[in-house]
Amino acid sequence: MIRLIPNSANQIKRAEEICFKFDDQLIKAHKGETILVALMKNGIHHLRDAPTDGKPRGAFCCMGLCQECVVAVGGKLVESCETIATDGLIVQSLRH
Ligand code: FES
């Protein structure tokens, strides 16, 4: 395979690493990332269950419109695609 664009991944400077909890799982993220981005990077896509049929739901629009990515932070429902992850945050899914 011919690489037309030089690989410059090692030149990217990432923001400071932080950790938060999603249910009982420790999630690593970089400062400035949304909760959704951090979860997806860690392979987590199932954020809640549909209230009608219980089927798994996850992010759809990724811009705060659909409410499919809602999770609980401190007992409050927030859109994970619009909420910045912070160190020590406790996030809970709405999975049953
Ligand atoms: S994915 Fe649509 S509001 Fe977050």
CB atoms within 10 A of CB 36: 22
CB atoms within 10 A of CB 32: 12
Residue nearest to atom 3 of ligand 1 (CA): 64
CB atoms within 10 A of CB 40: 19
**Tens-place pLDDT, residues 21-36:** 999 999 999 999 999 9
Ligand 1 binding pocket mutation candidate from 57, 73, 78, 79 (most atoms within 8 A of CB): 79
Q: Quote the ligand 1 centre to 65 CA distance (angstroms).
A: 5
Is residue 22 within 8 A of residue 45, CB to CB? The reply is: no
Nearest to 92 by CA among 76, 67, 40, 34: 76
Q: Quote the ligand 1 centre to 68 CA distance (angstroms).
A: 5
Is the domain defined by 16-92 classed in CATH 3.40.50.1100?
Answer: no
Q: Where are the domains of the chain?
A: 16-92
Q: Of 86 and 11, which is predicted with more confidence? A: 86
Q: Tell how strand 17-22 and strand 90-92 pair up.
A: parallel
pLDDT class of 3 with cuts at 50, 70, 90: confident
